[in-house]
Structure 1
Amino acid sequence: MLRIKKLDIFVLKSFLLLFSGTFFICLFIFMMQFLWRYVDELVGKGLEINVLAQFFFYSGLTLIPLSLPLAILLAALMTFGNFGERYELLSMKAAGIPLLRIMRPVVLFCMFLGGMSFFFQNEIGPRAQKQLWTLLVSMKQKSPEVDIPEGVFYSDIDGYNIYVKHKDRETGMLKDVLIYNFSDGFENAHIIWAEEGKLELTADKQHLFLHLYNGEQFENLKSQSVISRNVPYRRESFKEKHTLIQFDSDFNMVDGSFLDQRSDIKNMREISQAIDSLEIHADSVGRAYFNDVINSTYKTPVLTKADSTKLEKLNVAYLNTDSIFNSMTSQEKSQTLSKTENRISSLASDWEMKSFMSKSTDGNIRSHRSDWHKKITLSLACIIFFFIGAPLGAIIRKGGLGMPVVISVLIFVVYYIIDSGATRIGKSGEMNVALGTWMSTLVLAPVGAFFTYKSNKDSVVFNIDTYAAFFRKVFGIRLSRHLFKKEVIIHTPEYRKDVEALEHISALCEDYMRMHRLKGLPNYIKLFMNNKPDDAIADISRQMEAVIEELSNSKDPILLNAMNNYPFLAVKAHKSPFGNRWLNLALGIVVPAGLLVYLHIWRFRLRLEKDLKNIIRTNGQVIQQIKDQHYYS
């Protein structure tokens, strides 16, 4: 029986507090990004507050499934990062509680969120999506508020272009007004100029009332008779003129039935039914096109009875079209080529249209299938993102809004790029639709499993020092010694024994350099056939480190500074790469790789000789300093 313990309540409470905040933050960010896409088409139309409220409400509903995975990822990172930073996770593990047991209550909660996300996408999301798209289309079709700018032509009123040189913001009067009226057609254009004018909206919000003062009107006239040819336009001067312009500024909701063909406003059952209908339609259209090809388009022309009789009399078994064409006159050749060109052009246009219709139907089917799978993958993303965020938080042990936010954004960007790119390729037909939609899940699920495994095993996968040591080993980069004077010294060095040990180390280094020609190229065959370690260098390194450890208790700063010149000896880099003889032999046979390793080892041999000379020189400096300071008699 599943028992709820205080630990489960503590972990779940810590997660819920952060999740509630991150969810609304992520939802707000996605809503602002969605609004930014349509802000140019919505601003300046005088939309009422209830219309805007509906827009934000429906857009928020449609973006909830996308906000949940990112919110879970960020909350999991912050929760388990806080546990690690405050050593709470260490205390739980010290009590014998494994990481998976600590994560269990939050895993169950995320599974519940995944189920709710699926239900939301399948039941509530499609309805909200339809209402949102209907509202967007209605908002786009609404006429904008009349706000005529200065110095440019304003063309948002159908059939009119209005130019205003100056506007009085306090009184609303327009100065130096020029109006082009094309409402009756371009041939019956009306051009009005006025010194002053004022534009008002009627009470029913269906018309604009234009008041003009001190101006002239020009009107083009169609030529209806011979007399009218002498009167191409009509000119009128006025002191005051009032005009009504039809302008509907009310918000009218359009009928959303035209959106019924969209796949994102259907649940899974409706999508399956739509796919069946589309496939039946595509099959019927394909059969119709096939029958058209067989019966008419490419059917061999049938000769007339007179032509057949003529060919029988001439005893012609087949027709040589080239001979017939060459026997034609120039005019007949031109007519034949023209007819052929027209027929080919007609066939090309016909099949281009049929190809477009077939591709459109296939694309619609792929879009429906992709949205069917998307409802499942987006729900699974809630669980996958938790198994990425929680282990990462336990590994990096950083809470707050710093590192977790950066990592969450990077992971989500990778997820979004993979998901959107693969889905787009799948919808285009270049990839299987199901594979393209599931690509992000197939990529991130193993990543989450890997992080969970490493975190449960207390791996140092994100320990920077581990990677730094690895790259130092690969590229031969070594750390420098940093010996400082100790505040408290327990054991005073025995300088006489240390001097003897240093002299012995110098003798060992000289013997080694004399016996091994380190500057010369090593024997290629012996190098890859030998897998024995270099005990001599290992012994020199061990003795040198023991003396350095002993002399580090000295109070002499000059002596300590001299010992900082001792190198850290690499005891294996100048030998065979592997301890297994057969692996070395296999690497040596692969000439390109073996040659690179061979040159790399020769480089370390040269560095080893330089280090041995440095040790001999430093030993001399240290021995001389000890003798000069009379540390022993």
Structure 2
Amino acid sequence: MRGNFHIKKLYGYLLKTYIPLFLMTFAICLFLVLMQFLWRYVEDMVGKGLGLNVLGEMFLYAALQLIPLALPLSILLASLMMFGNLGENLELLAIKSAGISLIKAMVPLIVLIVMICIGTFFFQNNAMPKIQPKFYSLLISIRQKSPELDIPEGVFYKEIGGYNLYVEKKDRKTGMLHGVSIYDVSNGFQNMAVIICDSAEMRMSQDKLSLVFTMHHGQQFQNFTQGTENMNFSQEFIPYARESFVTKTMTIPYDDNFNRLEESVLQESSSSNYVSKNITQLRASIDSMEQFIDSVNIADRKVMKQYTYLSFRNSYPPNKRDSIIQHAALPEKTDLDTLLASKDIQTRTSILQSAYAKAENNGNDYMFRSMTKTTTQRNINRQWIEWHTKFTVSFACFIFFFIGAPLGSIVRKGGLGTPIVISVILFIIYYILNNVGYKMARDGVWDHWIGMWFSSMILLPLGIFLTYKAMTDSVIMSTDTYTNFFRKLFFIREKRNYTIKEVVIEEPDYDAIYRSIGELTEEVTLHLQRYGRLGYKSYWTDNGYDLGLASIRNRMEHILNQLSNSRNPMVIEKAKEYPVLIKYVRPFHAGSTPAKLCMYLFPLGVIVKLISGPFERRINRDLNAILKLNNDYNEILNSLKQKMAI
């Protein structure tokens, strides 16, 4: 009962630590993705005179719409930071020393993450269909909003459709424009009009649908082509009309109002209505579009059968329509080229023109039909993508927890430094994989379920691997682990380092060492005689090789440990020359069931045996080196005995 009480207290401590950390990281991640949204669409919002209420509404919908993107990253970062802090403060070590495994300590957090995943699914299924139409309709409305009118000095202003304006100088206090040139191409370039005036005043009409220019002391030039369509003018002379004025008023259409797009436009559009549907509505829409494609395919097959290959029969009398089929069944076949060559030139031309026209008409007709089916299939892909997104985001949150928590316990680094770096790298990988799968599913290159679950299929094994390594207290983040691996891979020898000790507690017994060296020599010799050339069957079934190497390694290390206490420099230097025996690398233990199965898979077994060949040859060279060093040591020990005897 007391143990259960302590575990419950631990659960409460973990939840109190994780929840504030998760809320903080979620706010940070949401802010970051919101800034990414702002950088992406800043050009569409700046310079259009939008009110704070419109911008605030836009950012609110954008933040809600970006929650599925920020949630997995925040879970990953919070898990890394929390378990990194626990490992760095030795709290995780205390939990494990109390007999509580990592998975058992993660139980309350797993329950919390499952609840978050369920909540994310309902948010995707129920809230997003209402948020996304509001977001996209408002975004389209902002994009279509005309820019705020601010004509610069000394450059042409082209933001007013059909008009180019040039202002030489502006009076900021009075708003008067000086040195104004207006190029009116709203009626086409052939009917272009140019207005040049000394000064002008510009104001917006009351309904904000047009600009009113009041111009002073200027001239208007306009191409004079109306009513002259049948007259031939040379390219060097085009008549124009010139008008001089003291004051002239001109109205230019310019909509400065903010016209909000109705949400129903998106909901009723077949190409974008998927953003406003839940999984039930998406499934019904997908079924209806698939039935439509099936019906179009059936109709196309009927049309192809009736009008494409056998269209010539439609012009035959009913009693002769099957004569060509009966003629085709005769043993003698008519050469179509000879039949065509027997006709006169006009008949052949008529036949070929008719065939070309029919082929072109059929090609155009089926191209149009294929475009309809392609558009419908693309809409189906979009609907499937949205359907799978309801589930993939929730599952991504679950995966990222099982990546972040074990990785944090392995790295054992808290704070915002290392966790942020690792989180950003992992999230970039997830983002790239997710985008690749999304585009492949959208374009129909992959099946929709493969594309949308592609990132999860890649990251799930990583989460399982990290969880297993964290449970077994693996040192996968230790540099020594990878250093030793690459040393073995590239056969980089590890050197022994012995020095003469200032204080020796136990002097080496040279007589016992001499006998041990003789036993080691005998054991190495027997091993080389038996396993000098390891056969294919022995490689997979005989575990005596590994046992013999382990015995040789232990005996040699025991002898060298005794010799390291010697005060004789010659003995110490010779001990440094002994090789460090590597472990013979095998995929499975010799004699085990997987090893025997691999042996019977003949090509695979031979390949693995060949790969292990360099390790076997190195071990044999090291064993021969041990025999030579043993002989040298015997001579050194004999000389030491003689000196001691004298």
- TM-score computed with the length of structure 1 as normaliser: 0.81
Distance in 2, matches of 1:611 and 1:300, equals: 94
Distance in 2, matches of 1:545 and 1:592, equals: 33
Distance in 1, matches of 2:174 and 2:634, equals: 96
| CA displacement at 1:369 relative to structure 2 | 2.7
Which amino acid letter does the alignment assign opposite residue 266 of structure 2? Answer: L
1:35 equivalent in alignment to 2:38: yes
Residue 217 (structure 1) aligned to one of 195, 217, 220: 220
Q: Tell me which residue corresponds to 2:254.
A: 247
Which amino acid letter does the alignment assign opposite residue 97 of structure 2? Answer: A
Q: Secondary structure at the match of 1:187?
A: helix
Residue 185 (structure 1) aligned to one of 185, 188, 204: 188
Distance in 1, matches of 2:183 and 2:461, equals: 66
Q: Which moved more, 1:538-547 or 1:110-119?
A: 538-547
Is the CA contact 2:495–2:580 (under 8 Å) kept in the aligned structure 1? no
Q: Secondary structure at the match of 1:245?
A: strand
| CA displacement at 1:105 relative to structure 2 | 1.5
Residue 131 (structure 1) aligned to one of 129, 134, 139: 134
Residues 609 and 216 (structure 1 numbering): CA distance in 2 closer, same or farther, change over 3 Å?
A: farther
Q: Tell me which residue corresponds to 2:303.
A: 292
Aligned residue pairs, count: 619
Q: Tell me which residue corresponds to 1:121.
A: 124
| CA displacement at 1:609 relative to structure 2 | 5.2
Gaps of 5+ in 2: none
| CA displacement at 1:452 relative to structure 2 | 2.9
Distance in 1, matches of 2:336 and 2:536, equals: 81
Q: Tell me which residue corresponds to 1:398.
A: 413
Q: Tell me which residue corresponds to 2:313.
A: 301
1:148 equivalent in alignment to 2:151: yes
Which amino acid letter does the alignment assign opposite residue 112 of structure 2? Answer: F
Q: Tell me which residue corresponds to 2:290.
A: 279
Distance in 2, matches of 1:224 and 1:472, equals: 92
Superposed, 1:270-349 pairs within 5 Å as 270-297=281-308, 298-303=310-315, 321-349=336-364
Q: Secondary structure at the match of 2:34?
A: helix
Residues 475 and 79 (structure 1 numbering): CA distance in 2 closer, same or farther, change over 3 Å?
A: same
Distance in 2, matches of 1:176 and 1:610, equals: 98
- CA displacement 1:161-188 (0-9 Å, x = unmatched): 2244666777766565432101233332
Residues 252 and 620 (structure 1 numbering): CA distance in 2 closer, same or farther, change over 3 Å?
A: farther
Q: Tell me which residue corresponds to 1:412.
A: 427
Distance in 2, matches of 1:379 and 1:574, equals: 41
Distance in 1, matches of 2:413 and 2:398, equals: 22
Distance in 1, matches of 2:220 and 2:417, equals: 67
Which amino acid letter does the alignment assign opposite residue 163 of structure 2? Answer: Y
Superposed, 1:548-559 pairs within 5 Å as 549=561
Q: Secondary structure at the match of 1:479?
A: coil
Q: Secondary structure at the match of 2:189?
A: coil
Q: Which moved more, 1:105-114 or 1:400-409?
A: 400-409
Q: Tell me which residue corresponds to 1:105.
A: 108
Q: Tell me which residue corresponds to 1:268.
A: 279
Distance in 1, matches of 2:232 and 2:337, equals: 63
Residues 550 and 362 (structure 1 numbering): CA distance in 2 closer, same or farther, change over 3 Å?
A: same
| CA displacement at 1:126 relative to structure 2 | 0.8
Is the CA contact 1:484–1:560 (under 8 Å) kept in the aligned structure 2? no
Distance in 2, matches of 1:190 and 1:385, equals: 64
Is the CA contact 1:528–1:588 (under 8 Å) kept in the aligned structure 2? no
Is the CA contact 2:523–2:552 (under 8 Å) kept in the aligned structure 1? no
- CA displacement 1:476-502 (0-9 Å, x = unmatched): 323334456768x362746xx55x788
| CA displacement at 1:359 relative to structure 2 | 2.2
Residues 51 and 459 (structure 1 numbering): CA distance in 2 closer, same or farther, change over 3 Å?
A: same
Q: Secondary structure at the match of 1:405?
A: helix
Gaps of 5+ in 1: none
Distance in 1, matches of 2:295 and 2:584, equals: 73
| CA displacement at 1:65 relative to structure 2 | 2.2
Is the CA contact 1:508–1:540 (under 8 Å) kept in the aligned structure 2? no
Residue 491 (structure 1) aligned to one of 496, 500, 505: 505
Distance in 2, matches of 1:306 and 1:77, equals: 81
1:206 equivalent in alignment to 2:209: yes
Residue 385 (structure 2) aligned to one of 370, 376, 394: 370
Distance in 2, matches of 1:72 and 1:514, equals: 59
Q: Tell me which residue corresponds to 2:51.
A: 48
| CA displacement at 1:154 relative to structure 2 | 2.6
Is the CA contact 1:69–1:385 (under 8 Å) kept in the aligned structure 2? yes
| CA displacement at 1:244 relative to structure 2 | 3.0
Which amino acid letter does the alignment assign opposite residue 570 of structure 1? Answer: L
- CA displacement 1:237-256 (0-9 Å, x = unmatched): 45655433221112110223
Q: Tell me which residue corresponds to 1:21.
A: 24
Is the CA contact 2:11–2:108 (under 8 Å) kept in the aligned structure 1? yes
| CA displacement at 1:542 relative to structure 2 | 6.0
Q: Tell me which residue corresponds to 1:62.
A: 65
| CA displacement at 1:337 relative to structure 2 | 1.8
- TM-score computed with the length of structure 2 as normaliser: 0.79
Q: Tell me which residue corresponds to 2:239.
A: 232
Q: Which moved more, 1:525-534 or 1:348-357?
A: 525-534
| CA displacement at 1:18 relative to structure 2 | 0.9
Identity %: 37
Distance in 1, matches of 2:548 and 2:117, equals: 63
Distance in 1, matches of 2:166 and 2:599, equals: 87
Residues 299 and 507 (structure 1 numbering): CA distance in 2 closer, same or farther, change over 3 Å?
A: same
Is the CA contact 1:293–1:299 (under 8 Å) kept in the aligned structure 2? no
Q: Tell me which residue corresponds to 1:437.
A: 452
Which amino acid letter does the alignment assign opposite residue 505 of structure 2? Answer: H
Which amino acid letter does the alignment assign opposite residue 66 of structure 2? Answer: L
Which amino acid letter does the alignment assign opposite residue 156 of structure 1? Answer: E
Distance in 2, matches of 1:481 and 1:232, equals: 101
Q: Secondary structure at the match of 1:301?
A: helix
Distance in 2, matches of 1:167 and 1:607, equals: 91
Distance in 2, matches of 1:392 and 1:574, equals: 27
Residues 14 and 617 (structure 1 numbering): CA distance in 2 closer, same or farther, change over 3 Å?
A: same
Residues 540 and 513 (structure 1 numbering): CA distance in 2 closer, same or farther, change over 3 Å?
A: closer
Which amino acid letter does the alignment assign opposite residue 491 of structure 1? Answer: I
Distance in 1, matches of 2:537 and 2:334, equals: 82
Distance in 2, matches of 1:631 and 1:192, equals: 121
Q: Which moved more, 1:259-268 or 1:580-589?
A: 580-589
1:451 equivalent in alignment to 2:458: no
Which amino acid letter does the alignment assign opposite residue 488 of structure 2? Answer: K
Which amino acid letter does the alignment assign opposite residue 355 of structure 2? Answer: T
| CA displacement at 1:352 relative to structure 2 | 0.7
Q: Tell me which residue corresponds to 2:162.
A: 159
Which amino acid letter does the alignment assign opposite residue 91 of structure 1? Answer: A
Q: Secondary structure at the match of 1:208?
A: strand
1:351 equivalent in alignment to 2:366: yes
